[in-house]
DNA sequence: CCGCTAGTACGAGTTGCATCGTACTACGGT
DNA sequence: ACCGTAGTACGATGCAACTCGTACTAGCGG
């Protein structure tokens, strides 16, 4: 059922799990990848709560790889994606994650990459 | 280098990452498996801080599968394993995890399995 | 209308992980 | 000495995930 992943015509929101559908194991799995961890951290630290398109995060990978990681983040419920014209604008679902998994995002904020 | 994984002759401790070597991404990866999540939760809830052998956790899987999961938990730093005669006694490394990733174990305690 | 741009979709290659069977080792008891 | 027990080690299988190239689509500007 998660086929072409079409945005809601009214809000532009792409399909995502509701707050009470969030699964800790899925969120942890999404965050267990260092690249995605750095993406989420960048949103938390540098986006100032504003929506940022995928291209805002600087990363030396082909576009298809980027699409993949943002999709994993959205389907696990970590980020929300809203289609606006050409771009998909992203935000971390801080309220939902804080409600369901308090403290988790603080760990992401404090994370330091290995290298 | 992580070969037969021999226990320290003095303490019985099996090799594990030091507190400052713990990596958030590895810990999250270890905890992103529902089976391991339920294992860690059982230790936190029902072990009363005591050491428990692998066989203490009731699970309908062959022994080799069990060994695998406890190894993942140890190598990521979530549990400590101490060889005592025949058994390997396990504890969750609460102090280390609370120091490095405060709040994380609370999420595990509060977790509810999907089914 | 043409081209640029942001991004998706699809498919392939590769790697890693979960699962499990089998064989094995080491300790403890009788 | 024998056997049961607790667990590891190894190897195979199957599946899911990461990576990426290529082709494609939808807006927007001129």
What 3-state class would DSSP assign to B92?
strand
What 3-state class would DSSP assign to B88?
strand
Q: How many CB atoms lie within 10 A of CB A15?
A: 14
Asked if pLDDT for residue B60 goes beyond 50, the answer is yes
- The confidence score (pLDDT) of residue A41 equals 96
Is B28's CB within 8 Å of A25's CB? no
pLDDT band at residue B66 using 50, 70 and 90 as cut-offs:
very high
Rounded distance between C-alpha atoms, residue B24 and residue A81, angstroms: 25
**Architecture in CATH of B21-110:** Orthogonal Bundle (1.10)
Rounded distance between C-alpha atoms, residue B83 and residue A55, angstroms: 50
Asked if pLDDT for residue B68 goes beyond 70, the answer is yes
A93-97, B47-51, B100-104: the lowest-pLDDT one: B47-51
Find the nucleotide nearest B74 (Cα to C1′).
D8
Question: Does CATH place domain A22-110 in 1.10.150.120?
Answer: no
DSSP code of residue B11: T
Question: What is the average pLDDT value for chain B, to the nearest integer?
Answer: 90
Residue among B23, B31, B102 whose CB faces A28 most closely? B31
pLDDT band at residue A13 using 50, 70 and 90 as cut-offs:
confident
Asked if pLDDT for residue B3 goes beyond 50, the answer is no
Strands B79-84 and A87-92, by their bridges, are: unpaired
pLDDT band at residue B48 using 50, 70 and 90 as cut-offs:
confident
- Mean pLDDT to the nearest integer, B41-60: 91
Rounded distance between C-alpha atoms, residue B78 and residue B94, angstroms: 8
Rounded distance between C-alpha atoms, residue A34 and residue A53, angstroms: 20
- The confidence score (pLDDT) of residue B114 equals 84
Q: What is the pLDDT of residues A37-84, one digit of tens each?
A: 999 999 999 998 899 999 899 888 999 999 999 999 999 999 999 988
Asked if pLDDT for residue B2 goes beyond 60, the answer is no
Is A107's CB within 8 Å of B101's CB? yes
Rounded distance between C-alpha atoms, residue B24 and residue B29, angstroms: 8
What's the gap in Å between the CA of A86 and the closest CA on chain B? Answer: 33
pLDDT band at residue A11 using 50, 70 and 90 as cut-offs:
confident
Rounded distance between C-alpha atoms, residue A32 and residue A112, angstroms: 13
Asked if pLDDT for residue A7 goes beyond 80, the answer is no
- Mean pLDDT to the nearest integer, B79-99: 92
C-alpha A47, offset from chain centre: 12
Asked if pLDDT for residue A10 goes beyond 90, the answer is no
* A23 contacts on B by Cβ (under 8 Å): 114
HEC-encoded secondary structure of chain A: CCCCCCCCCCCCECCCCCHHHCCHHHHHHHHCCHHHHHHHHHHHHHCCCCCEEHHHCCCCCCHHHHHHHHHHHHHHCCEEEEEECCEEEEEECHHHHHHHCCCHHHHHHHCCCCC
Asked if pLDDT for residue B30 goes beyond 90, the answer is yes
Detail the DSSP E strand segments found in B65-115.
Answer: 79-84, 87-92
* B104 contacts on A by Cβ (under 8 Å): 103-104, 107
The encoded tokens of residue A66 equal 């980027």
- The confidence score (pLDDT) of residue A3 equals 45
- The confidence score (pLDDT) of residue A4 equals 60
């Amino acid at each position: 059922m998660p086929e072409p992943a079409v945005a809601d015509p009214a809000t532009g929101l792409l399909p995502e799990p509701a707050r009470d559908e969030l699964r800790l194991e899925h969120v942890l799995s999404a965050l267990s990848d260092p690249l995605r961890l750095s993406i989420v951290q960048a949103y938390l630290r540098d986006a100032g709560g504003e929506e940022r398109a995928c291209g805002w995060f600087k990363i030396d990978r082909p576009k298809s790889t980027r699409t993949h990681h943002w999709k994993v983040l959205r389907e696990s419920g970590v980020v929300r994606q809203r289609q606006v014209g050409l771009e998909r604008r992203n935000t971390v679902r801080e309220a939902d994650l804080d409600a369901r998994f308090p403290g988790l995002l603080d760990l992401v904020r404090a994370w330091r990459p290995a290298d």
